[in-house]
Structure 1
Amino acid sequence: MSQSSLDDDELFGEAANEMRSDVESSLADAWDALPAADDIWETDAENVLGVLNGLKSALDAGDAEEHLRDAKKWYTMGERADAFEDADDLEAEIEAVEEALTDISGAGEQVGELASTIPALKGTLEEAADDDDEADEEDD
């Protein structure tokens, strides 16, 4: 084996290690960007709408999607170059982050829909109560 070939293999190995580190770092950044469990569980709002609006804000995934995209980009490059000896752990973690983002996004949509429905429902119930009070006054 020539010196050039050895150097190329060594460089490829270094590049593969750096690529794996980049994927791992991006995945760690994605996890860090997700909302904390306490942020979506605890509240100090005074009414249901306040709770829903707070929850909707807490369900913001921040830069997690961008970090996941970076991880997937470097993972795909590494896989296509056959640079990883064993990348099952990376693939599993990418899938776990994707699932978490999907769950957070779905919850955010549901909370958003509910938050837009509650004020109208409150108004309808208040009108019904006012109509009932007026009917009771007329009966007296």
Structure 2
Amino acid sequence: MSQSSFDDEELFGEAATEMRAEVEDALAEAWRALPDPDDVWDVDADNTLGVLNALKGALDTGDATEQLREAKKQFVIGQRADAFEDAGDLEAEIEELESLLGDIETAHEEASDLASTLPGLRGALDDAVDDDSE
């Protein structure tokens, strides 16, 4: 190999391009791993608890969180190395995806909390009705 194939600037440029591609690929995978909107909206269940359990399942972020983590790791390394000429688009996409995942995780937690509360509430209401009947 000739010495010119090991030019530091050229190697750095190649590495920066590859790093940006890795960030973009991880972001694309994260977007694809998000829950399907129809699965979140359309539910087939016989009762409220079934609806909430189906919703919890539909709101599972799966690999999206891990893919976002991978994108952020590569982004932070590239940003600190000043490897990206313009990282604004990547940063904006990461922030948008992070916000959306946060909303999904919050909805998942709320559905989980409600699903765990309803059986006890139903039991208490049944007891109250039974006590009132006596």
Pair in the same fold by TM > 0.5: yes
1:78 aligns with 2:78: yes
Listed as ranges, the matches of 1:112-123 within 5 Å are 112-123=112-123
Structure (1 or 2) with the larger CA radius of gyration: 1
Return the alpha-carbon distance in structure 1 between the equivalents of residues 75 and 116 of structure 2: 40
> Structure 2, unaligned stretches of length 5 or more?
none
Return the alpha-carbon distance in structure 2 between the equivalents of residues 74 and 116 of structure 1: 38
Q: Partner residue of 1:138?
A: none
Q: Partner residue of 2:26?
A: 26
State the shift of 1:65 in Å: 1.4
Listed as ranges, the matches of 1:1-140 within 5 Å are 4=4, 7-134=7-134
Q: Deviations over 1:59-102 (max 9, x none)?
A: 11111111111101111111111111101000001111111111
Return the alpha-carbon distance in structure 2 between the equivalents of residues 132 and 38 of structure 1: 42
Runs of 4+ with deviation above 4 angstroms:
3-6
Give percent identity, aligned residues only. Answer: 64
The number of equivalent residue pairs is 132
Return the alpha-carbon distance in structure 2 between the equivalents of residues 108 and 131 of structure 1: 35
> Structure 1, unaligned stretches of length 5 or more?
135-140
Q: Deviations over 1:76-135 (max 9, x none)?
A: 11111111110100000111111111111111111111001111111122222223333x
